[in-house]
Amino acid sequence: MQEEFKSGFITIIGRPNVGKSTFLNRVIGQKIAIMSDKAQTTRNTIQGVLTQNDAQMIFIDTPGIHKPKHKLGDFMVKLAENTLNEVDAVIFMINAEEGYGKGDQYIIDRLAQVSRPVYLIVNKIDQVHPDQLFDLIIRYKDKYPFKEIIPISALEGNNVDHLLTVLKDQLPSGPKYYPDDQITDHPERFIISELIREKALQLTREEVPHSIAVVIEKIEKKPDEKVLVQAIIIIERKSQKGIIIGKQGAMLKKIGSQARRDIERLLGSKVYLELWVKVQKDWRNKERYLQEYGFDQNDY
């Protein structure tokens, strides 16, 4: 008798910087979500597909739920909240180091409207003492009737397999939505732009806030089998342009060099990466640019 095949969609929500993207990359085994120690790195929902012999789990990494400061922020929060009742399970991820905060209560209040099972995932347990972890779990237990509370370390991989088993057990019987070898539903163009944005964020640190967008102008396979990628890094102020380009173009070269390595791993071929920098004043508050750069609020 053939074993029952299970499948379903699982959304990952939480405050910014709790480790959602690190968890997704750990589960999928490949970088599809960009990671940064800056809050609100993820701007679109990124679907990661994990296919096993008896199940397929589709994870949706949402932007961190936070109080919006501009139209882009509104888009991000709406995006995260809209996934809650359209999935089979919800992972509410918290950072064990930070503990309980106002932002968590904001999310818990929204979970009151959710009819799906909600799992509290306490991430970064490798950073805290077990006693601190125990107190934290007790505190959250009183806040909401979680289906289960599971401590993990997404970075180290601690307890991640157990979490996957628990999630799989409660998934409904269902079809295989994606082919075995597909790990995300996003086109390569989107992933490439995210990899470039990640390097720009990491290398400029606090100097350039989240006013970076990356637009892919061209992806073309050349006769020598290399892939040409041309992209524009969009920022909001002239002063940021100087930071991104760096002295004699050194920073832009470094961003390009690090991003190229990740893109080559993604595409499985050598890459020519050409980058330009463009100033688009206050683009995060302008509908036209939000749509042009892939943040169309009318889709949600």
Q: What is the per-residue pLDDT for 297?
A: 43
Q: What is the per-residue pLDDT for 186?
A: 64
Instruction: Give the CA-trace dihedral at 113, 114, 118, 123, to 10 degrees.
Output: -60
Q: What is the per-residue pLDDT for 42?
A: 43
Which CATH code of 3.50.50.60, 3.30.300.20, 3.65.10.10, 3.30.470.20 fits the domain covering 188-299?
3.30.300.20
**Between helices 250-267 and 238-245, what is the axis angle to 10°?**
70
Quick: pLDDT tens for 77-131: 565 566 677 789 999 999 999 888 888 888 898 888 888 999 999 999 999 998 8
Give start and end residues of each alpha helix (H) in the chain: 20-28, 71-82, 102-111, 130-141, 160-170, 188-204, 238-245, 250-267, 287-292
Joined tokens for residue 275: 């980058």
Q: What is the per-residue pLDDT for 81?
A: 62
CA distance 215 to 218: 9
Q: Which fold has domain 6-170?
A: Rossmann fold (3.40.50)
Query: CA quadruple 227, 228, 234, 238: dihedral positive or negative?
Result: positive
Q: Where does CATH 3.40.50.300 sit in the chain?
A: 6-170
Q: Which residues of the chain have pLDDT under 50?
A: 1, 36-44, 66, 296-300
- The pTM of the full predicted model, rounded to 2 decimals, is 0.62
φ, ψ for residue 117, nearest 5 deg: -65, 135
Q: Where does CATH 3.30.300.20 sit in the chain?
A: 188-299
DSSP string, 65-109: P---SSHHHHHHHHHHHHTTTSSSEEEEEEETTT-S-HHHHHHHH
CA distance 96 to 238: 39
Residue 97: Cβ-neighbour burial (10 angstroms; 0-12, 13-18, 19+): middle
